[in-house]
Structure 1
Amino acid sequence: MAHVFRVLGPVEVSGPSGTLIVHSSRQRVILSLLILSANQPVSVPRLIDAIWSESPPSTAKGQVQICVSQLRRSLGDIGLGGRICTKEPGYEIRIEEDELDLTAFERDVVAGLKAARDGSPADCVRYLRRGLALWHGEPLAGVDSRSVRAVALRMAERRLGVLEECIHAELQLGMHREVLTELMELVDAHPLRERLRGLQMTALNQAGRQADALAAYQDTRRELIEQLGVEPPAELRRLQMEILTGGEEQPEERAAPPPGPPPEPRLLPRGIPDLTDRSSEAGLMREALLGRTEHRPGAGPATAGARSGNGTDTGPGMKIVTISGMGGVGKTSLAIRVAHDIADEYPDGQLFAQLREGGIQPVGPERILGRFLRALGSPSSEIPSGLQERAEMYRHRVADRRLLVVLDDAADENQVFPLLPGGDRCAVLVTGRLRLSGIPGSVRIHLDELDSGSAMTMFERLVGRDRVLAEPSDALRVVHQCGGLPLALRMAAARLAARPHWTVGQLAGRLSDEGGRLDALAYGGNDMRASIMVSYQDLERDAQRLLARLALCEASEFPGWIAGPLMDRDPDATAELLDSLVDAQLVDTSWSPVGTRYRLHELIRVFARERLACEDSASEQVVMLRRVMGVWLSLIDEAHSRTYGGDYTLVHSGAERRRLPDVWVEQLLADPMEWLDTERSAIMAAIGQAADLGADEICWDLALGMTTLYEARGYFEDWREAVETALSATLRAGNRRGEAALLYARGVLDLSQRRFGESRASLTAARSSFEELGEKHGAALALRNLAWLDRNEGGLETALDRATEALALLEEAGDLAGVAHTLYQIGQVDLELRRHAEAKRCCTRAMEIGRTIGSTRVIAQAGTLMGAVHTVSAEPAEAERALNEALGIVRSTGDKAGETYALYGLGVLRLSQDSPALAEQAFRHARALALESGDHMMMGKLYMGLGEVYDAQGRPAPAAATTSKAVNVFEKIGARLWRDRAAEQLHRISLDGRPSPGHDL
C-alpha cells in the first residue's frame, strides 16, 4: 500500500489532495521529529536542540511555533488537517498504524525474524524482502539536523542488519546465485562489516568457488589488519577452516589448564520471571556494560524511561551503569535480569550485594567489602578491619579479573565508591532510588512506571488472560490503582491468586478505598507501604512535612511555587525541599513552557495522605489550602491585567490574595495565555476544592477571574464547569453578590456559545441583582452584553441606547477596557446603520484606549472592526493594513477567537476585490478555527461568505447549498438579523444575482 508518511528515504507526506513539499529546512526537521515520535509529544526544547544544536537564538521558541503553524496549514492543504496538535510538553502528530512506512517495515522485520527462529527461512525471506522494498533511498534524506541524522544513521544500520538476516535466510534456501551480485556491492560499500564478508564467503563456497571464497577471507584479513589492527573474528576463521577442509571437523589443540585459578564467585540471585517489557532499557544496559554504548537521540518512548547520562562509550576502563527510579518500579528485577544476560562475558565471577539491611537501613560499605573478599577467596583472618584497608585489598584482588559487580538499592554515592573495583576489565551495575549522578563515567538509566498498555500486559501474565478478558474494565482499574508499578501489580495479582473466589472487580473494589489500598498491596513479605517508607525515612523532617502536604493538591500536576504557601514560606525557601523529594523519587517532574511541573505518583499520593492525617489537623489543612488559593487569585488577577492592561471588565470578592515574589510572577506570566494552557486543570481543581471547603468568596472570584482567559482560548467546557461549580457554592452560601457575578459570567459564556435566549436570561438577572446591590460597575458590564444581544436580534436603536448607557457607567467606574469594548459595540451598530464616519471614530478611540492601557486584545478587536469599516467604505489598502495588524496581534497572543474574526474580515475584503480564490482560502482557514471552538455564529457567517465565493465563481448549486447552511445555523441559534441576511442572499443567488460584499464583523 502507499503510505501517507514516509521516512525510509526522503521525508514525504501524501494526502488526499496532494503531496506535501516542505522547502523550509527548519520545518523539515520538526516534521521529521514529529513523525519519528508519532502519537507521542515532542518537547519544544528537543525541537529547538534539533534545529539549532548548542546555539539557539532568543526567539527560538517563537520560531518553532511559527514553523508548526505553517506545517499545520500545509498538511491541511493536502487534506491532512488536524494531524498536529499541541500536547505538553510540545507537539504531537497523529498517525494511524498503517500510515507510516517505518511502522510497516518494523512489523515485517519482527515477523521475518520470528519465522527465522521458528525454522522457516522461506517465510523469513518473504517478510524481510517485503519490508526492505519500502526503502526508497537514504533515510530522512535532506533533513539538516545533527540529532535527526543520528537517527537516520541508526535506521540505515538497522536496514543493513535486516538485509544481512535476509541474505542469511536466502543462503539457507540455496539462493547463492541470486544474492552474489548484491553481496559484492554490499561488501564494496561496507568493507569492514564482518558478517557481510562471512555471507560473501558462504555464497561463493556454495557456488563452488572455493578459491574465490578463500581469497575473500584474505582480503578481509588484510583490510581488518590495515584499518583496525585486528585479526578476523573467530567466526570468519572457523568459516575459512570449513572451506579449506570441505566441512570436515579438525581436532583442536588445547592448552594446558592454568594451575590453581582463583575462586569464581557466583553471587547473583535467581532472576524474577520477566513479565515487563523493559527491552529498550535492558539493551542500553547490555551495550554499556559490554563497552558498546551508543547515543540514541530518537529512540522514542524508551529513552523517556531509560535516559543515558552521558550517551557515549565509557571507553577503556571499568563500565558502570546506574539505574534509578522510585521504589517498586522494577530496578532490582531489571538489574538481575541484565546481569544474568551478560554473566558469560565476565567469566571471573559475579558479585552481588543488597545495600540496605532488611530493605530499610543502609549497610556500611566495610561490611559489604568483607563479604566480597571472602567470596573472592580471602580467609576471614586475613581481612583487615578498616574500610580503607578493605577497599585497597578488594581492588588488588580484582585488578586483573573480568568481574561483574551488582550493587542493589544504594542509599547514595558515598556508599558505592568503596565498592567500585579498580581494574579496567570489570563492570558495575548499581540500583538506587536517588539518581546517582555523582559517580563519574557512569551511564545513567532512569526507570519510570509502566504505561497502561505494558502494565495491563504484565497483569494479564500474572493472573491469566482469561481472567482479564472476562473483566477488562476492572482489570484496567486495578492497573491504574497500582500506578503502573511492577511491585504493586505483583502484590495485587498475588492477593487475587490467593483468593480464587474473588473476581477482578472485587479486587478493584478493595483497592478503590484509598484508606486501605496500601494495606491491600502487601503480600508474601512484600509491602508497598514499606517500600515507600524507605525513601520517606531518608528525608529530612521538613521534606517529610512537605510530601504530606502535597497530597492537598488535587490536580494531577502542580507548579513548584505551591510548596511555598503549603509550608508558609517563600517558594525560593522551599525549592530545595521540593528538589529533595524529586531526588528521592517521591515526586516526578516534567517540563512545561512556564516552568517545571510536579506530580505525585498514584500510590505516593495515597501514602502522603496517610502522613497528612498524622501531621496536620483538618483546620490546619484548610489554612494551607486558603494560602494556596490566595496565590491562584493573585496570579489570575495578574494574567488578566497583562491581557487587558489593568484590572478591567471584572468585579472581585474580598478574598485575600497572596502575591509571589516578582521574579516568580515574571517567569510564570511572561505569556499569560501559555500559562493558562499549562495551569487550566490545576485551576479547575482549585475551584472545586474551594467549593468543597465552603470558601464561596474565593470560589466565585477564581471562576470569574478566568472568564477573559477562557474566552480568548475558547475553553468553553472548562468555563462552564467553573461557573456552574462556583454558582452552586454561592447559592448554598446565600452570597448574592457572588451569585450576580456568576450569572453575569454565565451570560457571557452563553453569548460566546451563541445560546442567546439563555444568555439574555442570565444577563438580565445579573443586571437586576447588581442594581439592587448598588453595584453600578457590575450592572454596566451586564448591560453592555445585553446591548450585543439586542443588535443581534435586529434591535439596533435599542442596542445603541443600552450601549451608550453602559458606556457612561463604565467611564464613571474607570473601567477603560470596558469603555473600549463598548465603543467597539457602538461602532458595530454604526456600521450596521451605515454611519461609517461614526464607526471609524469609535474604533479610533477604542484603539487609543487599548494602546494607553497596553491591551493587545482591545487593539486587535477594534482593528478588526476598523478593517470592516474600511472594506465597506471602498478603502482596500487601509482595510488590509488594519486586518493584517489585527491578525498579527491575535496570532502572537494565541487568541483563536480573534484570529477567526480577522480571517473572516480578510475574506470579505478579498471578495470586495473580486478575488474569490483568496477569499475562499481565508474563509476555510477561519472555518477550521470556528469548528474547533464551536462558534456557531461565526460558522454561519463563514457559510455566507463561502456562498458568495461560489456564486462569484459561477457555481450556483454549491453557492445555494452553502448559503442554506447559513440560514439553518442562524435560525437554530436565534440570530434573526443574520438569518434574514442569509435568506436574502439565498434569494439573490436563486435569481442568479451577485450579492455585493459588505458584512460587518
Structure 2
Amino acid sequence: MVPKDMLISGLWGDRPPNTAEQSVYTYIAGLRRVLEPHPGTRGPYAVLVSRSRGYALERGQMQVDVADFERHLAEARRLHSAGDHRGGLRALDAALAHWSGPALCGVPGPFAEAERARLEELRLSAREDHADTLLGLGLHQEAAAALTDLAAEAPLRERTRDLLMLALYRCGRQADALQTYMDIKRLLAERLGVDPGTALRERYELILRADPSLARVQDRASGAKAPARPPRQLPRAASVLVGRAEELVRLRSLLSPWDGGPPQAVVAITGAPGAGKSALAVRAAHASSSAFPDGQLYVNLQGATPGGERLKPIDVLGRLLRALGLPGGAVPSEEDEAAAVLRDRLEGRRTLILLDDAAGPEQVRALLGLPSGNAVLITSRESHAETDDCVQLVLGRLLRSEAVTVLAKLVGAERIAADPAAADRLAHLCDLLPLSLRLAAARLAERPDWTARDLGTRLEDRRRTLHELESGRRAVRSSLELSYEGLAHGGELDRLAARTMCHLGVLHVASLTPELVSALLREPVDAAERALGRLARAHLLEISGPGRYRLHDLVRLFTIELADARLLPEARKDALMSALGFYGATARHASTVLDPHRVQLPWPTVPQRPLALTSADEARDWLEEELPDVVATAAQAMQSEDDDVARLGAYVGFSLMWQLTRGAHRHEQRDLNRQALAVGERTGDQEILSLAHGQFAHALVNLGRETEALLHQRAELELRRALRDRFGEMRALGNLGVVLLKLERYAEAREGAEAQRAIAREIGSEVGERHSLLIRVVACRELGDLTAAMSLLGEVLALAQAAGDRYHESEGLALLSELCLDRGDPRTAKSYLERGLRLAREIGYRVSECESLAMLARVHRLLNEPARALAYAREALAARQRSADENLSRLAEDELRVIETAFPELRATREVPPRAALTG
C-alpha cells in the first residue's frame, strides 16, 4: 500500500501545489481507465484498489517490466557464477529486451528522477556485462561492435572503454585499442578535469607491450584452464527489506556513482542496535556489485557480539588477503606490513569490502586507505565521523508507513489491513525499529488467533516493556522477551524451546550442537535438536552448518539475562556442570580414539557420557571443530566463584592437553593452566595444583620460557612426591627432563630420565619407559656419546613398534635421522625421515610434521638436490601455517634461507617470504 502523502511527495517533492491531492485522484482515475479489465465501471476495482489513506496494486494482477528485467539480471549473475556463460548471455539478452527507450520517459518528480537514474545505471551495467560475457565466450567481434555503440552512448564510462580496448585488441586491432584509451583520456580531461583510473591505465600499458595475459582464455568446453573467479562473499540479501529507499539510493550513489567515477573510499552505516544496518549494507553491496568486477569481500568483525571476541585487525587482514589469492604462508604477521600488502594487492582493481559489525574506528583503521577504485563499506554501532575519507550514514527509525508494511509482509496483508489503526499503533509501540517489528510479527505468526490490536494491547499493559522499547539495547531486550513469552505459553515443543533459550545463556560459546544442548538441558539429543530447530524457525537462532547453530548477536545477550532471571542458581550451576562434563568426557575420549597410547590426565567421575566417536577421523574433526568452544567454556568455568564449577573447569582444560599439544596451541595451553593454578591455589586442591604446574610448565617451555618452566615443573614433582603418587612422580620426572634438555643441562636430564625409567618399570608403565629412553637419547647425543645414543634409540624404537605407539616411533625416527646426519649419512637419514613424516601425519602431530619436513629439506640440500630441498622447505612453511608455534616458524625459515644461500639460482622462484603470518 502506498499512502497518498508518499505519492504526492514522489511527484512534487517538498513543494506540492495546493491541488496536489485532487490531482492524485485524477491520475488514479486515468490509471484505472488503462489498467482495469472493465474500464468505465465504478468499483469495486480489481487491479488498482483503494486502501485507507492510499492505494495498492493487487498482487498477481500485474506484470511489471522492471521486476522482469531485474529477475533476468539476477539469473544472469547466478549462471555466470556457476560457470554457465552461455546461459548467462541468454538471461542478459532477455533482460535487455525489456528496454524500448528511457525509463519513465516524461514522468516528472523526484521519485521518477531517482528511479530513472537507477534503472539507467542498471541498463548500462547490463550492457557491459553482456559484452564482457561475449568476450569470455570468444565472440570478440560481436563484443567490439556492442561496446562501440555503448561508448558512443555513454562516453565517460571507464568500464565500457576498458572492455572495448580488450575487445579491439583481441580482434587484432591494437592501434584502435590504444586510440580508444587516448579518446577517453582526452574526454575525461576536457569534461571532468581528471585522468583515467588505474584499471584503464594498466590496460593501456598491457596493450602497449602486447602482454600475453591479454590473450583469450578458453572456456571450460575447450578443456583449458579457466581464470580464477573473483571472490563473491556477500551474504544473501534479506528477502524482506522495506523502506530505506532514500538511504539505498544514497549508498548506491556513493559506491557506484552515476557518472562512472571512482566510488567513495569509505562508507559507514551507523545507528542503534536493531536498526537494520547489516541488512541495508548487504542490499546496497549487492545492488552495487556490478561496479566492482574484481570481487566483493565480506568479514563479520564481531565488534558487538555479546560473549564473543572481536576480530583483531591482523586476523581480518589475513582473511582478506587469502580471499584475494595470496597463499596463507605469504600473509605477513605484522599489521602494518599486512595492510601494505593489501593495498598492493588491490592496486588497479575495483573491489568492495563489507566490514560488518565493527566495534569502532580503531578496529578498521588498518584496513582503510585503499587504492582508488576500491571501497570499504562498514556497519557499526559506534560513530565513524572521525574516520578519514569516510561518509557516514546514520540509520534511524523507519517511517510509519514503512513499519506497517514490514508487518504486512511478514504476517500477511489482509490480517494487517483488517485494522489499520491497530497496525499503526503496534508499529509505534515497536519504536519503528526493524528488529522489534520482526519479532512482533513472529509473535503474530505463532498465534494466528491474535490480531494486531491484541498484541498492541499486551504491549501497552506492560508499562516497563513499553519504556524499554524506547531506545537502544532495551528495545531489543523487550522485543526478544515477547518472542520468549510466545514460546513459553505455547505447546509442548514451544515450551521446550523456551526452556532451551533460558539454558543457552548459561554457556558463552560461539556455536551450538544438539549434543551440547542435550547436556545443558539433560534431555535426549533428538529433543534438543527439535528445540533448536524450533528456535531457528522463530529466527532466534541461525543454522551455521550441518548440525550446528549460532545465536544472533543480540539474542545471545538476551539469553544471558534470561538465564539469570528465569533459572535458580542451582539450575544454572547444574546446566554448566553438565556442559563441562560433556565437553571434558568427549575431549578425553576423542584424544584416546585418536592416539590410544597417550596417557590422559586424571578426570573426576561425571554422569555425562562422551559423544560416540568411533574413528580417528571423527575424533580429529570433533577436537578441531569444538576446540575454541571447549577452551572458552573451561575458561568461563574457572572464573566462577563456585568452587565445584571452577574445579571442573580446570579438569576440562586438562582434558585438552593432547589436542593443544598436537596442534601447538601454546598460548591457549598457557592461559588455561594459569587459570587452573589460580583455581588450585584458591581451593587448596593439591591435585589441580600439581596438574596445573606441570601443564603450565609444558606451555612455557614451548614458548621459549624454560627458566620459568623449570620452577613450575619442580613444583609439580614436589607435589607428586608429597601425594605419594608414583605414576604422577614418574610423569613429572619425564617432563622435567624435557625442560632440562631445553636448558642444555644434559647430564641432569639424563640422570632424571634414569630415575623416571626406574619408577616406570616399578609400576609397569611402558609409555613412561619409552619417554625416559627418548630423553636419554637426546642427552647422550648432546653430550657426545653417539654410541650410547644409537643403542638407546634402537631399544626405544623396538618398544614403540611392539606397542604400536606411532608418536614415540615418529619421535625416535626423527632422532635416528639426526644421528645419521651427525655421522655424515644423509641418504639413510632420508629414509627414516620419510617414515617418521608418514607417522606424524597419521596421528595429526603438527610439530613432528613440520620438523620432519624441515629436516628433509636439509637432507636434500646435503644430497645436492636443490629442487627437492626447496620443495620440502616450502612444504614445511605451509605446515607451520597451521600452527602458532614460532619455533617451528624459525626452523622452517632458517632452512629456507640456507638453501637459497647455497643455491642462489633458486631465489627467483621463491613463493613464500620469510616471517609469514602464523595462525593456530
- TM-score of the superposition, structure 1-length normalised? 0.46
Higher relative contact order (CA 8 A, sep 6+): 2
